[in-house]
Amino acid sequence: MLHNIRVVLVNTSHPGNIGGAARAMKNMGLSRLYLVDPEDFPSGEANARASGANDVLDAAIVVDTLEEALTGCSLVLGTSARDRRIPWPLLDPRECATTSLAQVEQGGEVALVFGREYAGLTNEELQRCHYHVHIPSDPAFGSLNLAAAVQVLVYEVRMAWLAAQNQPTKMNKVEATAMLNTQPVTVEELELYYEHLEQTLVEIGFLDPAKPRHLMSRLRRLYGRAGISKLEMNILRGILTETQKAARGESHPRTIPPIDNA
């Protein structure tokens, strides 16, 4: 699906930006790069900045006009840094991504078009776009580096694509959680912990049963929101058991000089 979304760079001055764009694309799973009349390409600087995404550069299609780069596209989105006199439907990068994904899901092809480093896209080029995309930068310093702008848009495309895949990132998290022994404790286990904790705090003289104040409820709030795993619970219970032994003089404390914890 990502294969049907291409990146089009118009009249790029710095080959380093072409390389940076290629790397950003490959990082996010995109591969089709079109270069409209680049000033310096191919270039060693582009390859250096691509940093392993040379295959994207090697497969890049160099054309003379924007029209050629848009061949076969059903949706064209052009980045626009400034407000233009001619009003146009304007999307933010997230809306750009969801609109693009919806288009390729329907069998269409999408072009994300980026203009020149200093001048952006011309009004004529912008009028070839179905939508304009504006990255919501600080108006006082609004112009992003070209490769950085590509990074933002292709990142949003990947986020939208992952969401469309039944959220595989969340799946991995679940699997990882199961594998890493982070199964959460039950309410009963947590209650047993609070009992053990309260008992221990009384034994070490920190909690006065006659004047409990809000101590246990504060500790419940803290541990309750931490989402403790079974493994962690074993550790916490172990600490309490050893604390009790020490308080009862049953343990054999290590003889090391105390650290000043003030």
CB 86 to its own copies: min, Å: 9
Q: Which is nearer to its own copies, 64 or 118 (CB)?
A: 118
Q: In what order do the strands lie in the sheet with 131-133?
A: 61-63, 33-36, 5-10, 110-114, 75-79, 131-133, 90-91
Q: Which is nearer to its own copies, 2 or 110 (CB)?
A: 2
Q: In this structure, how many other beta carbons lie within 10 angstroms of the beta carbon of residue 78? A: 24
Q: Which is nearer to its own copies, 44 or 238 (CB)?
A: 238
Q: Which is nearer to its own copies, 69 or 120 (CB)?
A: 120
CB 142 to its own copies: min, Å: 7
**Cβ atoms of residues 7 and 25 within 8 Å:** yes
CB 257 to its own copies: min, Å: 10
CB 182 to its own copies: min, Å: 6
CB 6 to its own copies: min, Å: 17
CB 62 to its own copies: min, Å: 23
Q: Which is nearer to its own copies, 83 or 105 (CB)?
A: 83
Q: Which is nearer to its own copies, 68 or 83 (CB)?
A: 83
CB 248 to its own copies: min, Å: 7
**Cβ atoms of residues 236 and 228 within 8 Å:** yes
Q: Which is nearer to its own copies, 65 or 177 (CB)?
A: 177
